[in-house]
Amino acid sequence: MTQRIDCDVAIVGGGIVGASAALALRRMGRSVVLLERDLCGSRSSGVNFGGVRRQGRPISQLPLAQRSHRIWGELARTIGTEGEYVRSGHFKIARSEADLAALEQYRAQSRDFDLGLEMISGARLRERSSWLGAKALGGSLCPEDGQANPRLVSPAFARAAEREGARVLERARVDEAAHDGQRFVLRSVAPGLEVRAPVLLNCAGAWAGPLAAQFGDEVPLRSGHPAMAVTEPLPVFMDWSLGVEGGGIYCRQVARGNVVMGGGAGFALDDERARVERGSIDGICLQAIELLPALRHAHIIRTWSGTEGYLPDRQPVLGVSPRRPGLIHGFGFAGAGFQIGPAAGEVLAELACHGRSSTPIEAFAVDRFEREAEAVAANAPNPSPRPQPISVAR
């Protein structure tokens, strides 16, 4: 018994990107059906570090990040909960003079975007943040960057979309996706659904590659698994959310006292689940104690990982398909999608309704790798296959 649903826009993927797109589309008066294979916000959007950060992003992402910053500033009004969002400040640590120089350079390059970056080092740093270990020479503070609880925020976007009239269908994996000449046709076997829409948003996260490829948009999307760990609740000693210039670990302390840390990689157990690699646990602990001596006596009570989608340039894919009219992509946020996810969703809604967005997104074109490859090898054959219905379930 198949239930058929027709709508203006179908969305595959109920993470923060898909859900915020659904919400934005409802506010623009479009009918929306969102298909999520598990529960909304149960994957990367729900298990990431929780940093809500603009500082350090490529300059090309900053318009999107600034747009998102405004959405975050009205979070409770938008999704009905603060989700523990706090503008605690994000401090990017420099461990050397070269690091400091790199941070100064970023400050200069990003100056048009009003991030409010402030360099702090030496005695001023020690006075301001005595809890930072000696290896921290100085760093760059973005006072309005912060942190939130992804487990609360991401599902809340989906529920907000639902309250606004979006049909959010969970435990509804897309088993088949095709185009019948007029509309996209998505089939979900278990709940017995067929969804048809002239516009399809591909927000399937790390699993968006096959859906894109099916309609001719091949992208070199790889899965990665950032490693996370959390301590027991500790007396609150740290206000900033921390990152390290040049990589390493990132950490933040929540109001309840647990310190959440990330760094290194995990590994996939299967297509959908991941776990932290033991070497990463060692690495996170060593680096965290060095950075934050107060953690010396603390215990880790849990580790976890997730599955993120990465493109080779670590920039997302965000934009219309050049091959399949009506298909619009929003995926591959390379572990940095939480802060810009809400704006990406709004951009997708704009693209769906108007074919263009007020936010510059050329850097995120889905075919940029092809064009690059074509520029390199002039005789490269056209790689696009004829679209045909194939299973995208894995």
Partner 1 sequence: MTSTRQTPPAVPLLHRVAETARDQIPFTLDGVACTALAGDTVLTAVLTHAGQLRRNEFSGAPRAGFCMMGACQDCWVQTGEGARLRACSTFVAAGMCLVTEVPA
Partner 2 sequence: MNDMTGKALPPVIVGAGPAGVRAAQTLVAHGLRPVVIDEAARAGGQVYRRQPPQFGRSSRTLYGFEAGRADALHQAFDALRGQVEHQSDSLVWNVQDHWLDVLDGPTQRTRRVPFAGLIVATGATDRVLPVPGWTLPGVYTLGGAQVALKFQGCAIGQRVVFMGTGPLLYLVAYQYAKAGAQVAAVLDTARFADQCAALPAMAAQPAVLLKGLYYVAWLRAHGVALHGGVRPLRVLGTERVEGVAWHDGRAERTLEADAVGFGYALRSETQLADLLGCRFAYAPLHRAHLPERDAAGRSSVAGVYLAGDGAGILGADAAEWAGERAALALLADRGVQIDAARTQVLERKLARVAGFRAGLERAFPFPQDWAAHAPDELVVCRCENVTAGNLRQTVREAGADELNRLKALCRVGMGRCQGRMCGVAAAEVLAHATGQPLQQVGRLRGQAPIKPIPMELAAAQEGLPS
* Chain residues in the site for partner 1 (CB under 8 A): 233, 235-236, 256-257, 296-299
Q: How far apart are CA 336 and CA 344, in angstroms?
A: 12
Q: How far apart are the first and last CA of the chain?
A: 23
Nearer to partner 1, 233 or 322 (CB): 233
Cα(20)–Cα(106) distance, rounded to whole angstroms? 29
Q: How far is the CB of 296 from partner 1 (least distance, A)?
A: 8
Q: Which does 235 bind (CB under 5 to 8 A by kind): partner 2, partner 1, none?
A: partner 1
Among partner 1, partner 2, none, what binds residue 129 when CB lies within 5 to 8 Å by partner kind? none
Q: For partner 1, which is the closer residue by CB, 58 or 293? A: 293
**What, of partner 1, partner 2, none, does residue 289 touch, CB below 5 to 8 Å by kind?**
partner 2
Distance CA 79, CA 223 (A): 29
Does residue 151 interact with partner 2 by CB under 8 A?
Answer: yes
Of residues 28 and 152, the one with the C-beta less far from partner 2: 152
Reported as type and span, the H/E element at residue 44 is: helix 44-47
- Find the binder of partner 2 among 11, 75, 212, 276 (CB under 8 A): 276
Shortest separation between residue 223's beta carbon and partner 1, angstroms: 34
Euclidean distance between CA atoms 80 and 77, whole angstroms: 6
Contact 330, 202 (CB under 8 A): yes
Q: Which is nearer to partner 1, 84 or 175 (CB)?
A: 84
Q: Which is nearer to partner 1, 296 or 386 (CB)?
A: 296
Residue 114 contacts residue 10 (beta carbons within 8 Å):
no
Which partner, partner 1, partner 2, none, binds residue 257 by CB below 5 to 8 Å per kind?
Answer: partner 1
SS3 173: coil
| Minimum distance of partner 2 from residue 263's CB (angstroms) | 13
Binding partner 2 by CB under 8 A: which of 221, 295, 334, 343?
A: 295
Closest CA to 13 of 184, 158, 159, 152: 158
- By beta-carbon proximity to partner 1, the closer residue of 113 and 237 is 237
Provide the minimum distance between the beta carbon of 297 and partner 1 in the complex, in angstroms, as a whole number: 5
Q: Does 131 bind partner 2 (CB under 8 A)?
A: no
Please give the Cα distance from 21 to 204 (Å, whole number).
13
120 lines the binding site for partner 2 (CB under 8 A): no
Which does residue 285 touch among partner 1, partner 2, none (CB within 5 to 8 A, set by kind)? Answer: partner 2
Q: State which of residues 46, 56, 89, 224 lies at the interface with partner 2 (CB under 8 A).
A: 46
Distance CA 21, CA 39 (A): 17
155 binds partner 2 (CB under 8 A): yes
Q: Write 127-134 long-range contacts (CB < 8 A, 24+).
A: 129/91, 129/238, 129/240, 131/237, 131/238, 131/292, 131/293, 131/294, 132/93, 132/291, 132/292, 133/290, 133/291, 133/292, 133/293
Consecutive H or E run containing 18: helix 16-27
> Can you tell me the distance from the alpha carbon of 13 to that of 157, in angstroms, rounded to the nearest whole number?
12
- Name the minimum Å distance from CB 260 to partner 1: 16
- Of the candidates 76, 190, 236, 301, which one interacts with partner 2 according to CB under 8 A? 301
Work out whether 163 is an interface residue with partner 2 (CB under 8 A).
no
* Residue nearer to partner 1 on the CB measure, 77 or 299: 299
Q: In terms of CB distance, is 97 or 282 closer to partner 2?
A: 282
Distance CA 97, CA 16 (A): 38
Question: Which one, of 54, 72, 67, 53, lies nearest residue 110 by Cα?
Answer: 54
If binding is defined by CB under 8 A, does position 369 make contact with partner 2?
no
Should residue 297 be labelled a site residue for partner 2 when binding is judged by CB under 8 A? yes
Query: Is beta strand 51-52 parallel, antiparallel or unpaired with respect to 146-147?
Result: antiparallel
Residue ranges that bind partner 2, judged by CB under 8 A: 39, 42, 46, 151-152, 155, 159, 231-233, 269, 275-278, 281-282, 285-286, 288-289, 295-304
